[in-house]
Homo-oligomer: A and B are copies of this chain.
Amino acid sequence: MTRTAGELADYLGASLTGDRGANISGVASPEEASAEDLVYIDSPRHTDRAAKSRAACILAKPGTGIAGKALLAVPDPKLAFAKAAAWLLPASKPSAGIHPTAVVAASATIAKTAALGPYVVIEEGAQVGSGSWIEAFCFVGAGARVGEGCRLHPRVTLYANAQLRDRVEVHSGVVIGGDGFGYVFGEGRHWKFPQVGGVEISDDVEIGVNTAVDRGSLGNTRIGAGTKIDNLVQVAHNVEVGEHTILVSQVGISGSSRIGNYVVVAGQAGFGDHTIVEDKAIVGGQAGILPGKTIRAGEIVWGTPARPFKRFKEQFAHLSQLPELASRVRALEQKTGEKSGEKAEKKVV
């Protein structure tokens, strides 16, 4: 919708310099903006980019001066930009109702204000809350529950009894509630350990494309409120992820691990089973946490096996100089008349 610079300043609590009446109807980068797009700059280094932009209205830190633009001064322009975008560009939303091709079990409960797209399947006893939007080809298993204001993009599978609270957004290809990967070996084969637990996704969680969140084996798998999960992530059975935590793409978390609140896990990191990551820890990309290990609150870890980032850097710097260190040891051996213990270098890779 279109707002004025003045309305936006009021909404954001920003201090406005320039034309209060300038219209704003979208968001863009400075280079791609039209006159009505809002843009932001985070640093005075980008003042030129904003000055050259066609955008009439700029979000920037206090003290930024750009002639001929409406300037909205805020302490965190990127944050204000995200808030402004959510306000200016409300999510597209179909009209409520059930597409005639949807197959809805008689015992399912669909709120009147929910929207079900074509070829949605809702099984016995499932519930869909008010204002939720279930897009094409979604499968909501028996007894599963979708809260209020949720959005399931096309092709999401909720296994039986999966529970989603409110304002959960689930992207295409996600599967919530698949069986955990647990077997007991005996008599020459793998027997499936019972996978009869639940899975609960709390308020305001977003889950990216083709991610898998398994149900618990006996207990539950839980994702805390406000946590954001990227594409192609694996969350195994009985994992508990806290609130406002970030799991970047292709992260894998093994069974019964507990990830705290405000944790950041970078891409492709992997966790053995029964790991513990305390609040506000940061796990580097491709790091590997050994089974049963604990990462302390606020700690930053890297590498496989994961170790404190400072220690990793120090070791890696020394590793980089290892060929030189070996030469120095050789020189010492020659000087002291020690017979060299050096072997021929093996071809290893």
Q: Which residues of A contact B (CB under 8 A)?
A: 26-29, 32, 76, 78-79, 81-83, 85-86, 89, 92, 99, 101, 103, 117-119, 121, 135-137, 139, 141, 153-155, 157, 159-160, 171-173, 175, 178-179, 181, 183-186, 188-194, 196, 204, 206, 208-210, 212, 214, 218-219, 226, 228, 230-232, 234, 236, 244, 246, 248-250, 252, 254, 266-268, 270, 272, 285-286, 288, 290, 302-305, 307, 311-329, 331-333, 335-336, 338, 340-343, 345-349
Contact = CB atoms under 8 A, between A and B. Distances in A.
Given A76-B186, A82-B194, A212-B209, A267 B244 contact: no
28 contacts: A27-B218, A76-B186, A82-B191, A85-B193, A86-B194, A103-B119, A121-B136, A121-B137, A121-B154, A154-B157, A155-B155, A157-B173, A159-B172, A171-B178, A172-B178, A190-B244, A190-B246, A192-B206, A230-B234, A231-B236, A249-B254, A250-B252, A286-B304, A303-B304, A305-B316, A305-B349, A311-B320, A324-B342
Nearest to A213: B209
A74 to B, nearest CB: 11
B325 A244 contact: no
Kindly report how many copies of this chain are found in the complex they form together.
3
Given A81-B194, A82-B191, A305-B316, 13 more contacts: A27-B194, A86-B191, A117-B121, A135-B139, A139-B172, A141-B154, A172-B175, A181-B228, A181-B231, A305-B349, A315-B322, A317-B345, A328-B333
Contacts of A345: 317-318, 321
A154 B139 contact: yes
B178 A231 contact: yes
Contacts of A76: 184, 186
B315 A319 contact: yes
Contacts of A99: 103
A249 B234 contact: yes
A290 B347 CA distance: 13
A302 to B, nearest CB: 8
Most buried by B among A82, A101, A160: A82
B320 A315 contact: yes
Contacts of A219: 29, 32
Q: Which A-B residue pairs are the 8 nearest by beta carbons?
A: A85-B194, A79-B186, A209-B212, A157-B172, A82-B191, A178-B209, A328-B341, A212-B231
Contact of A209 (B175, B190, B322): B175
A137 B141 CA distance: 13
B193 A78 contact: yes
A248 B157 CA distance: 21
Contact of A321 (B193, B324, B343): B343
Contacts of A89: 194, 196
A312 B348 CA distance: 10
